[in-house]
Amino acid sequence: MAKPNIDIKPASGKLGILLPGMGAVATTFIAGVEAVRRGIAKPIGSMTQMGTIRLGKRTDARVPMIKDFLPLANLDEIEFAGWDIYDDNCYDAAKKAGVLETQLLDSVRDFLEGIRPMSAVFDQKYVKKLDGPNVKKGANWWELAEQLKADIKNFQKEKNIDRMVMIWCGSTEVYIEPGPAHQTMKAFEEGLKSNDPAITPSMVYAYAALSMGIPFANGAPNLSADIPALDALAREMSAPICGKDFKTGQTLMKTIIAPGLKARQLGLNGWFSTNILGNRDGEVLDDPESFKTKEVSKLSVLDSILQPDLYPDLYGNFYHKVRINYYPPRGDNKEGWDNIDIFGWLGYKMQIKIDFLCRDSILAAPICLDLALLLDLAKRTNLSGIQ
């Protein structure tokens, strides 16, 4: 069989994973990777680690593991660094996040204690519910971006890193509409220098990474790199970008159920979703401006899956509502209820009820790993811009 003409550089040397925001998701991710490396646990939920790929015909029975088939970075070659407004090391931050049990955390404690967040680019204007001491000072966004680039270069030198990727694991910022400062690189860089309020901290991180050719993924629903200026920069610097919220809990259910309804051509009258969660993410989302960012991203999921324009009889007029309620006793163990009003043959009505008792960060951590490994692969395959 002829080989496809794709030139993929080998995954030689170390891969550095840069994490702005070292809270529940980031620490669950880091602790998990180290636990897997030490043989303490399995990387459940990670497509790159657990998944297989079918080659040729079904009857050929050629089904290798994805990680054996693709030239992905090896977990042993990964190093972590990140930033947070709190200066707790990753062990203390993971304890506070309350996702993983003490026994597991203690088994990788030495490793986690060795990772301490660098000082963050932060402004409370964009995450109203948080305030922390570990924050950089600078005259404008431009200077702060330069400081981030210096952090990245130091990490690279200190740990002898070959390649890097950045995954935003920071909080959901307030809702921002794309505006003039986001349209071109020239306008964006002027905005960095004039401290344009339409530029948010997550954009400053994305800019720092992309201007160094480092791939960027966004785990939050923030605008971040999702603007023409940074898309252009990503292409110019040959950096792949991806992501808009991890979509792990209730939205995971939506992305599982909705394609099934559509495949059976069953109609939808309404989808009401409500959640309780009590972690720091829940607290941040208790602010209406951060919630709006999340809400817009969550609402868009059903439209993009169900394509009401193509199926007006089935999906032309459904009511979709999402609520998130901050409820501290639950911590990271979210509960999400969905009431789905559907209709079938001759318009007859039916209902689906879902009660998903999930663990948000347990679902998000393997996605972080897959995003990091696949963005690194994309970069080595010379892909750039939105993936």
Ligand X SMILES: NC(=O)c1ccc[n+]([C@@H]2O[C@H](COP(=O)([O-])OP(=O)(O)OC[C@H]3O[C@@H](n4cnc5c(N)ncnc54)[C@H](O)[C@@H]3O)[C@@H](O)[C@H]2O)c1
Binding residues (CB under 6 A) for ligand X: these are 20-25, 83-86, 97, 120-122, 127, 130, 132, 169-172, 201, 219-220, 245-246, 248, 279-281, 284, 360-361, 363-364
Instruction: Quote the least distance from Cβ 143 to ligand X, whole Å.
Output: 15
**Biggest CA pair distance of the chain:** 67
Q: Which is nearer to ligand X, 127 or 145 (CB)?
A: 127
Q: For residues 382 and 384, what is the distance between their CA atoms, to the nearest angstrom?
A: 6
Q: Which is nearer to ligand X, 183 or 274 (CB)?
A: 274
Give Cα separations from 44 to 8, 33, 78, 370 (angstroms).
27, 11, 18, 12
Q: Which is nearer to ligand X, 75 or 166 (CB)?
A: 166
Instruction: For the beta carbon of residue 68, count every other beta carbon within 10 angstroms.
Output: 10
* Closest residue to ligand X, based on beta-carbon distance: 23
82 in Cβ contact with 118 (< 8 Å):
yes
Q: Which is nearer to ligand X, 45 or 71 (CB)?
A: 45
192 in Cβ contact with 141 (< 8 Å):
yes
Instruction: Quote the least distance from Cβ 249 to ligand X, whole Å.
Output: 6
Task: Convert 62-101 into a string of H (helix), E (strand) and C (coil).
Answer: ECCEHHHHCCCCCHHHEEEEEECCCCCCHHHHHHHHCCCC
Q: Which is nearer to ligand X, 94 or 342 (CB)?
A: 94
379 in Cβ contact with 209 (< 8 Å):
no
Q: Which is nearer to ligand X, 25 or 229 (CB)?
A: 25
Instruction: Quote the least distance from Cβ 201 to ligand X, whole Å.
Output: 4
* CA angle (127 as vertex; 126, 133 as ends), nearest 5: 105
Q: Which is nearer to ligand X, 192 or 342 (CB)?
A: 192
Alpha-carbon dihedral 218, 322, 299, 173, rounded to 10 degrees:
-30
Q: Which is nearer to ligand X, 175 or 246 (CB)?
A: 246
* Tokens representing residue 150 in the block: 């210096």
Instruction: Quote the least distance from Cβ 57 to ligand X, whole Å.
Output: 38
Q: Which is nearer to ligand X, 24 or 181 (CB)?
A: 24
Q: Which is nearer to ligand X, 225 or 268 (CB)?
A: 225
Instruction: For the beta carbon of residue 163, count every other beta carbon within 10 angstroms.
Output: 21
Q: For residues 20 and 208, what is the distance between their CA atoms, to the nearest angstrom?
A: 11
Mark residue 247 as left, alpha or beta (left: phi above 0; alpha: psi -120 to 50; beta: remaining).
left
Instruction: Quote the least distance from Cβ 202 to ligand X, whole Å.
Output: 7
Instruction: Quote the least distance from Cβ 99 to ligand X, whole Å.
Output: 8
Instruction: Quote the least distance from Cβ 221 to ligand X, whole Å.
Output: 7
Backbone angles phi, psi at 57, to 5 degrees: -75, 155
Instruction: Quote the least distance from Cβ 339 to ligand X, whole Å.
Output: 21
Instruction: Quote the least distance from Cβ 165 to ligand X, whole Å.
Output: 16
Q: For residues 19 and 120, what is the distance between their CA atoms, to the nearest angstrom?
A: 11
Instruction: Quote the least distance from Cβ 316 to ligand X, whole Å.
Output: 29
380 in Cβ contact with 163 (< 8 Å):
yes
Pairing of strands 319-326, 267-277: parallel
